[in-house]
């Protein structure tokens, strides 16, 4: 006989801001937090998808769900958006940055504007958000900033080096931010997923074999709760990327990766 474990509802629900809440990985993570009775503020650019996610999370037990429709590329709007979000939540325990684009690598090789768009969405916009969020958390000496980077940032490969370089920049920024503000009582978590089955990878013929977003989300929620610094999800990507990072360049440049 099997039983289904029901996560405990805490007496002090966490206040969680989710940027890019319609992301497959973010949605799966929010389902875990909703079952715990969390308070959620969800930001996404597609109003219809956002309303569906919010409604689902209310059904699953979230004690409070508010939303804002925003294109996170618009860095000028970040100050007002984030101020509104923390006011709506009446505080913030966790900010989860999940938005991102894979982009079109072959197009980006030919056209700088395509490459610049990938760098803007995946690096410049998160830097803007994290600057505001860290300035909110540091004077309060509390909070967790959890950021979805990628294993792709660990080494540039010919198949996706524009996306990879945006995530490499993001990982480096987040590492430096952690080095600065961990001592102020703010936890900064770098999340490096391997290939995961979401809308981002749906066009890849191998995507059926990619990691299950619910399992990835479980590891992310556990890492946030444990106040970890960095995780690879699934864990196997940690030794894989250790090997990939250490392949000598004279060999690496000849590989088809
Ligand atoms: N799936 C993987 O294999 C994998 C591996 C490593 C890292 N990651 C990272 O994990 C994060 C989540 O990705 P995912 O796999 O969950 O893919 P996803 O389902 O495609 O989610 C990406 C989300 O980002 C949103 N977004 C993109 N640009 C935006 C903008 N300018 N403003 C607001 N929202 C924007 C998208 O909104 P729309 O739905 O409106 O387009 C979508 O909700 C991304 O940062 C991704 O790079 C994914």
Residue 245, CA distances (Å) to 151, 182, 238 in order: 10, 26, 11
Is the pLDDT assigned to residue 3 strictly greater than 80?
Answer: no
When pLDDT is averaged across residues 17-22 and rounded to a whole number, the result is: 98
> Residue 69: CB within 6 Å of ligand 1?
no
Tell me, yes or no, whether 233 lies in a domain.
yes
- Structural domain span for residue 175: 15-252
- Taking alpha carbons only, the member of 151, 124, 162, 163 closest to residue 230 is 151
When pLDDT is averaged across residues 164-180 and rounded to a whole number, the result is: 98
Is the pLDDT assigned to residue 9 strictly greater than 60?
Answer: no
> Residue 148: CB within 6 Å of ligand 1?
yes
> Residue 46: CB within 6 Å of ligand 1?
yes
What is the whole-number distance in angstroms between the Cα of residue 2 and the centre of ligand 1? 35
- Mean pLDDT (the chain) is 95
Under 8 Å between Cβ of 28 and 216: yes
Atom of ligand 1 nearest to the CA of 23: 21
**Candidate from 200, 212, 214, 237 with most ligand 1 atoms within 8 A of CB, to mutate:** 200
pLDDT band for position 63 (50/70/90)? very high
Is the pLDDT assigned to residue 7 strictly greater than 50?
Answer: no
When pLDDT is averaged across residues 76-85 and rounded to a whole number, the result is: 98
The pLDDT value recorded for residue 13 is 86
Q: Residues 136, 163, 210, 232: which is the catalytic one?
A: 163
When pLDDT is averaged across residues 85-112 and rounded to a whole number, the result is: 98
pTM: predicted TM-score of the whole model, two decimal places: 0.96
When pLDDT is averaged across residues 66-71 and rounded to a whole number, the result is: 98
DSSP 29: H
Q: CA angle, corner 19, sides to 57 and 195, nearest 5? A: 90
Total domains, the chain: 1
The domain that holds 55 is classified in CATH as 3.40.50.720
Tell me, yes or no, whether 3 lies in a domain.
no
Tell me, yes or no, whether 2 lies in a domain.
no
Atom of ligand 1 nearest to the CA of 21: 43
Q: Token pair of 204, please?
A: 């890849």
- Taking alpha carbons only, the member of 125, 124, 116, 172 closest to residue 149 is 172
Atom of ligand 1 nearest to the CA of 74: 31
> Residue 153: CB within 6 Å of ligand 1?
no
Tell me, yes or no, whether 5 lies in a domain.
no
The pLDDT value recorded for residue 22 is 98
What is the whole-number distance in angstroms between the Cα of residue 22 and the centre of ligand 1? 8
Tell me, yes or no, whether 7 lies in a domain.
no
Is the pLDDT assigned to residue 218 strictly greater than 90?
Answer: yes
pLDDT band for position 10 (50/70/90)? low
163 part of the active site = yes
The pLDDT value recorded for residue 5 is 43
The pLDDT value recorded for residue 12 is 77
Nearest CA to ligand 1 atom 35: 99
When pLDDT is averaged across residues 111-129 and rounded to a whole number, the result is: 98
When pLDDT is averaged across residues 130-145 and rounded to a whole number, the result is: 98
Tell me, yes or no, whether 8 lies in a domain.
no
pLDDT band for position 119 (50/70/90)? very high
- Find the DSSP H helices in 66-212: 78-89, 105-110, 112-119, 125-137, 161-181
The pLDDT value recorded for residue 1 is 34
> Residue 204: CB within 6 Å of ligand 1?
no
């Amino acid at each position: 006989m099997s039983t289904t474990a029901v996560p405990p509802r805490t007496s002090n629900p966490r206040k969680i801001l989710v940027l890019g809440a319609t992301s497959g990985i973010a949605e799966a993570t929010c389902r875990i937090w909703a079952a715990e009775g969390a308070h959620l503020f969800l930001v996404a650019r597609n109003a219809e998808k956002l309303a569906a996610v919010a409604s689902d999370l209310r059904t699953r037990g979230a004690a409070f769900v508010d939303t804002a429709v925003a294109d996170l590329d618009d860095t000028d709007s970040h100050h007002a958006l984030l101020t509104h979000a923390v006011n709506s939540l009446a505080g913030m325990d966790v900010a989860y940055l999940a938005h991102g684009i894979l982009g079109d690598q072959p197009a980006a090789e030919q056209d700088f504007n395509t490459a610049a768009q990938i760098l803007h969405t995946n690096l410049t916009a998160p830097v803007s958000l994290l600057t505001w969020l860290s300035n909110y958390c540091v004077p309060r000496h509390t909070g967790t900033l959890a950021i979805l980077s990628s294993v792709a940032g660990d080494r540039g490969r010919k198949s996706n080096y524009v996306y990879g370089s945006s995530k490499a920049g993001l990982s480096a920024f987040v590492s430096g931010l952690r080095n600065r503000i961990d001592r102020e009582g703010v936890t900064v978590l770098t999340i490096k997923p391997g290939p995961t089955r979401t809308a981002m990878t749906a066009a890849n013929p191998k995507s059926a074999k990619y990691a299950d977003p619910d399992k990835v989300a479980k590891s992310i929620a556990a890492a946030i709760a444990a106040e970890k610094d960095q995780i690879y999800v699934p864990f196997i990507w940690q030794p894989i990327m250790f090997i990939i990072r250490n392949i000598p360049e004279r060999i690496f440049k000849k590989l088809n990766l």
